[in-house]
Structure 1
Amino acid sequence: MEKFEKLTGIAAPMPLVNIDTDMIIPKNFLKTIKRTGLGVNAFAEMRYNDDGSENPDFVLNKDQYRQAQIIVAGDNFGCGSSREHAPWALADFGIKAVISTSFADIFFNNCFKNGMLPIVLPQEQIDVLMKDSEKGSNARMTIDLEAQEITTSDGEVIKFDVDAFKKHCLLEGLDDIGLTMNKAAAIDTFETQAAQARPWV
């Protein structure tokens, strides 16, 4: 998993509340178990018209937000069914951080496992970031995970909290498999000792 240390990028304003996992990646795209290739279908029902053409009113279809790496969202982002395809789709699109007043628990934890940073802030700070994101591609935010700070395009600094263990995993680029592989030596020692103690197993 790619390390998340400091990100400077375009933030897309998405003030809708209760953006659920079916809105993020509709159920008809859940047939794959691959983490790649889902980005083109992220937000498909809002992003495309019935004839397959792009909806010009959807924020990520606007020229200034096509390269967005941050979403500033309304309350309760990622609610609904517990599909891991939702963070897969966002990550494949290029989203590396989502900022909201709250997240559904399963989606929140799945973000960390897929190298994406979900940030919870009070509404008044979301309002500041939403206004900043509405400036378009010339207004870039910086998220410094080590310092736990967001810097707006105007230089305003907003602090955020993050669980220490989850922060460590993102900074080191460790998913569940990576965490296990960090213990490879201890696992090998255990297996050797177990084989010696119970050779009949």
Structure 2
Amino acid sequence: MKTFGGPALFLDRSDINTDEIIPAKYLTEITKEDLKPYLLEDLKLPGFDPKAEKTRSAGVVVARANFGCGSSREHAPWVFEVNGITAVIAESFARIFRQNMFNCGMAAIELPAGQIDKLFGYADVADASIAIDVEGQRLTIKGGGREESVSFEISPFDKALVLAGGWVDYADTKY
């Protein structure tokens, strides 16, 4: 079974759009693997470097509201997937981006602003990591000798998509 989570990458901004996740000029690439080096290439945040080891080793992204707004391209979840990022946690998501995450077998977890603020309390902790139990609808953040658990909601259908590995795998088992 797929594990969800890993080292946490904190992107402290709302409205991170799909052009910042994967610039449009790379949408002509043939395979998902070809997208890999361009993850978050156009994202502008103070102190953020898309080529830094912290970015390249991330397993989960934590951000603010309206994550994945902009174009409805599947390439945005794909570039996370090919870089080993299995989940994004935010206050809210653009509807199509969120569904594309589920359809690709990845977790898009919505939490209230107060819970997101608590997660950002770990942003400066070098060893911050998040383990996600999709089945149990619970995540645990650890780092700096601290640990906290948070429950989250996900619809039964979206949970089934994620646990199956995405829409294609889900359909293979059901139809």
* TM-score normalised by L of structure 1: 0.77
Q: Does 1:97 align with 2:94?
A: no
Q: CA deviation digits over 1:138-172, x for unaligned, max 9?
A: 22221111111111212211100001111122223
Q: CA deviation digits over 1:156-191, x for unaligned, max 9?
A: 111000011111222232x3332332245xxxxxxx
For 2:172, what is the secondary structure of its paired residue?
helix
**22, 35, 38: which is aligned to 1:38?**
35
Structure 2 counterpart of 1:16, one-letter code? R
Structure 1 counterpart of 2:152, one-letter code? F
For 1:18, what is the secondary structure of its paired residue?
coil
Flag the 1:130–1:31 CA change in 2: closer, same or farther, 3 A.
same
| Other-structure match for 1:116 | 106
For 1:142, what is the secondary structure of its paired residue?
strand
**108, 132, 154: which is aligned to 1:143?**
132
| Other-structure match for 2:70 | 80
* TM-score normalised by L of structure 2: 0.88
Flag the 1:155–1:176 CA change in 2: closer, same or farther, 3 A.
same
Where structure 1 has 5 or more consecutive residues not aligned to the other structure, the ranges are 48-54, 185-201
Q: Does 1:180 align with 2:144?
A: no
Flag the 1:59–1:163 CA change in 2: closer, same or farther, 3 A.
farther
| Other-structure match for 1:14 | 11
Q: How many residues align?
A: 172
Question: 2-side partners of 1:103 and 1:56: how far apart?
Answer: 22
Larger RCO (CA within 8 A; separation ≥ 6)? 1
For 2:101, what is the secondary structure of its paired residue?
helix
Question: 1-side partners of 2:32 and 2:116: how far apart?
Answer: 29
Q: Does 1:170 align with 2:162?
A: yes
For 1:171, what is the secondary structure of its paired residue?
helix
Question: 2-side partners of 1:23 and 1:142: how far apart?
Answer: 25
Q: Does 1:158 align with 2:128?
A: no
Preserved contact between residue 102 and residue 120 of structure 1 (Cα < 8 Å):
yes
Preserved contact between residue 40 and residue 50 of structure 2 (Cα < 8 Å):
no
Normalized per residue, the structure richer in helix is: 1
Question: 1-side partners of 2:152 and 2:46: how far apart?
Answer: 33
| Other-structure match for 1:52 | none
Alignment identity in percent? 37
| Structure with larger Rg | 1
